[in-house]
Amino acid sequence: MSNLDLTIVVPTYNLGHYLPETLKSIQQQTIDFELWLIDDASTDGTAQTVADFVKGIPNFHATGFNDHRGIGAARNFGIDHATGQAVAFVENLSSIF
């Protein structure tokens, strides 16, 4: 564990066009957090959207699966790599205020 307050996990699959709004709302948060984006083998360019967005943001991490494993596997990956004191899941159709 680290001194981070929160790890935010965003599993995604073929919804890349929704991600920028979700990620911008997360980026505006003022707590000390990290973000894990897990692409579940999307076929619509989501992986590239994820990679482009996290580039240069130190607390934003991204990974992707080579085969479709489902939301549970993506969430578990996020939990396994979390360093925050708590974990929150955000769907990529959501915004955080």
Task: Kindly list the domain boundaries of the chain, sorted by start residue.
Answer: 6-89
Instruction: Say what the pLDDT of residue 96 is.
Output: 79
From first CA to last CA, the distance across the chain in angstroms is 26
| Cα–Cα distance, 23 to 80 (Å, whole number) | 21
**Homologous superfamily of 6-89 in CATH?**
Spore Coat Polysaccharide Biosynthesis Protein SpsA; Chain A (3.90.550.10)
> pLDDT tens digit string along 23-81?
999 999 999 999 999 999 999 999 999 889 899 999 999 999 999 999 999 999 999 99
| Cα–Cα distance, 79 to 19 (Å, whole number) | 20
**Whole-structure pTM value:** 0.91
| Cα–Cα distance, 44 to 16 (Å, whole number) | 7
The answer to whether 12 and 92 have CB atoms below 8 angstroms apart is yes
Residue 69 token pair: 């494993």
Q: Which residues pair with 80 in a beta bridge?
A: none
